[in-house]
Amino acid sequence: MSYLREFARTFSHNPRNDLLSGLTVALALVPEAVAFAFVAGVHPLVGLYAAFMVGLVTSLLGGRPGMISGAAGALAVVMVSLVAEAERAYGAGSGVQYLFATVILMGILQISAGFFRLGKFIRLVPHPVMLGFVNGLAIVIFLAQLPQLQVSTPEGKWGWLSGEWLSGISLYVMLGLIALTMAIIINLPKLTKAVPSALAAIVVVSLVAIGFGLDTRTVGDMASIAGGLPQLAVPVVPFTLDTLLFILPYAVILAAIGLIESLLTVTVIDEMTNTRGRGNQECVAQGIANIATGFIGGMGGCAMIGQSMINVSSGGQGRLSGLAAALFLLSFILFASPLIEQIPIAALVGVMFMVVIGTFEWASFRIVGKVPRHDAFVLILVSVVTVFTDLAIAVITGVIVSALVFAWQHARRIGVKASVLNNGGKLYQLDGPLFFGSVTAFRDAFDVQNDPEQVYIDFASSRVCDHSALEAIDTLADRYQEAGKQLHLLHLSEECRGLLKKAGSLCEVNVIEDPRYRLAVDELS
């Protein structure tokens, strides 16, 4: 019942805006899905069916209303290796079947991640990594449009670098239509917001190109999008351990990339709409969507930040917008392919260029010189790695670098102040966390040979964080014991005492149980 109430609440705040923005998104999905299918080495309908099914299921079950999911380029660049390897190992025509099986296993892994509530770990992604993520994806979206400005583009992620560019009238017509599309998107909201500016731009530019008989590339020049309803079928692969071992590594990578991109996109849309999505629910929805996609002959997918930005900026913030986009896309395949295939590619490129402008965090140029240097470095690093490799590697790299910087900074903050007590003992007061990065400085701060028989370490301003800290304390205690002296620990927090108790014989020290700090100081002084 709680899900039904939540579904009803988030289904649509404005049905008209949701339907129109859904139509806009569906139009923009067509060339993207076809292009990503080409990248993965499969038939265009495999990409279109994936865009339909993933978008349909996640719009109904997902944790982020208004977010658009479909066939994604981040997944396609991994899938191409899977398809090629399967073709080599199992024969021509088998690659796509192993792809479907992998997508199903990918979905099972994503559902498991949701049930184990792993979505919350997206909170560990620092803000510089988030900025690098959106900037990198903006650059990737921009680069993905460049092949449309070429006569032919060699295969591969960077094939456009050596492709043959348009020239003469063809280039001028293409650039002019792109500029017209962008001008309409920018200026129409100043006149009226009754119609999404991106949708109006696509319609106007299409009418201009058709009306004047302009010789420009259209959606139909990429591939025919005509097809029937997707058919339910089990992937034609042997159900053996060898098959599982073959597809499992790819499924793990695809599941990780899909969830990372989806959860980060959830965060981006949360900030844009000042609302909060549900990460774990989105993990489960993405998994169900990919399982369903694998059984209808789709290439799988995840959240698409570009289309999500189009949807939200066009006013689509309810589940109805994603549902409408999926159903409009299916209707294009079934009924309207001749009409959709006449849309100039230039109009869709112009829309995506506006997405690039809206996605890129231009403020990052301004803050680079104002934030700590390591944050600026992480921002740039994640952007570059996203462009040259893939999203999962970029985000993981950014998180690791940020964690190492954090550890290094805190390792240098450990402070030790020594003083002699009235009872003849010596008190060491720690300041800063004791963990693997600070244990060396901790050990070097003690003078075991010259210290008195009773030595106290005050942890009032410190915390014992990990096994390295326990080992450092135990090693120090052994050194004092070998010297015939006693080491006592004061003012440990409840959490630290629990950590020492759990360690048992791994760390044998005398802990003075005294929650009243002032009394302990009085007794010692």
Predicted local confidence at residue 116, as pLDDT: 92
Listed residue (457, 354, 316) closest to 138, CA to CA: 354
Residues contacting 56, CB < 8 A, separation 6+: 289, 322, 323, 326, 327
Low-confidence ranges of the chain (pLDDT < 70): 1-3, 153-161, 495, 497-525
Buried b (16+ CB within 10 A) or exposed e, 360-381: bbeebeeebeebeebbbbbbbb
Beta bridge partners of 456: 427, 488
Rounded CA-CA distance 149/178 in Å is 11
Predicted local confidence at residue 160, as pLDDT: 62
Beta bridge partners of 303: 69
DSSP for residue 522: H
Rounded CA-CA distance 274/282 in Å is 18
Task: Give the sign of the dihedral formed by CA 361, CA 362, CA 365, CA 370.
Answer: negative
Predicted local confidence at residue 519, as pLDDT: 33
CA-to-CA separations, 77 to 24, 26, 250, 301, 482, in angstroms, rounded: 26, 22, 11, 12, 60
> Do 415 and 432 contact (CB within 8 A), yes or no?
yes
Predicted local confidence at residue 508, as pLDDT: 52
Predicted local confidence at residue 1, as pLDDT: 57
Predicted local confidence at residue 368, as pLDDT: 80
All structural domains of the chain: 14-148+166-222+230-383 (no CATH), 415-524 (3.30.750.24)
This prediction's pTM: 0.78
> Do 106 and 300 contact (CB within 8 A), yes or no?
yes
Predicted local confidence at residue 216, as pLDDT: 92
Rounded CA-CA distance 507/439 in Å is 15
Listed residue (104, 44, 53, 105) closest to 76, CA to CA: 44
DSSP for residue 514: -
Any idea how long the chain is? 525
Cβ atoms < 10 Å from Cβ of 11: 17
> Do 399 and 125 contact (CB within 8 A), yes or no?
yes
Structure tokens at 33: 């899905």
